[in-house]
Amino acid sequence: MLVGYMRVSSESDRQNTNLQRDALQAAGVDIRHLFEDRASGAKDDRPGLTKALEFVRPGDVLVVWKLDRLGRSLPHLLSIVNTLKDRQVAFRSLTEGMDTTTASGELLFHVFGALAQYERALTKERVTAGLAAARRRGRVGGRPPAIWGARRIAAARRRLAATPPSRCATRSCCGATLLHPACSGKLWVQPPAQPAIMPTAP
């Protein structure tokens, strides 16, 4: 059975699924088996797609007008198609001519998978090379320490002995959560209140 999925990026009346609907029906999709979304492809929450994926059964074919109607990116598209494949559901895109029920369509799908893997490898190489170049120039990633040096830590410890952490942290230009670990985990304890001295009657 053919199951169709349609999507437009906006809920505005200026965008509609008429073109996609006509193409899917011309491809043999029953109007009762059409699902649609009116949301950006970048959104994970797409009720129409969720219903379509729940509706399909082994042996069915999920049909879309174009690849970008289904996935927000190539890795996302491949993830959906792989999920369908695991459930023995085929995939067909009318515009690109991809059909995983045919040998050529299966080959094209594997080519897309190889391209996505190649893209991830290139991204990893660029990040690694950038970090190495920064280290050669003496730059280390991560947040700079808020407290450093033995003298500054010692001064912070002295302040903690009689000053609330929030006030002490403000004077030290750092947060209270950073001040305690830097000072060996010492905690400030509220000193007991002094009893009020009542005046004596003359």
Query: Hey, which residues are catalytic here?
Result: 9
CA distances in angstroms from 138 to 130, 135, 147, listed in the order given: 13, 5, 20
Q: Which long-range contacts (CB under 8 A, 24 or more apart) does 122-128 make?
A: none
State both tokens at 147.
């407290």
Contacts of 119 (CB under 8 A, 6+ apart): 74
Q: Are 116 and 78 in contact (CB under 8 A)?
A: yes
How is residue 88 annotated by DSSP? T
Dist CA 81 CA 125 (whole Å): 27
Phi first, then psi, for residue 148 (nearest 5°) are: -150, 160
State both tokens at 48.
């129409």
Amino acid (one-letter) located at 38: R
State both tokens at 146.
């808020």
Q: Helix (H, G, I), strand (E, B), or coil: what is residue 8?
A: strand
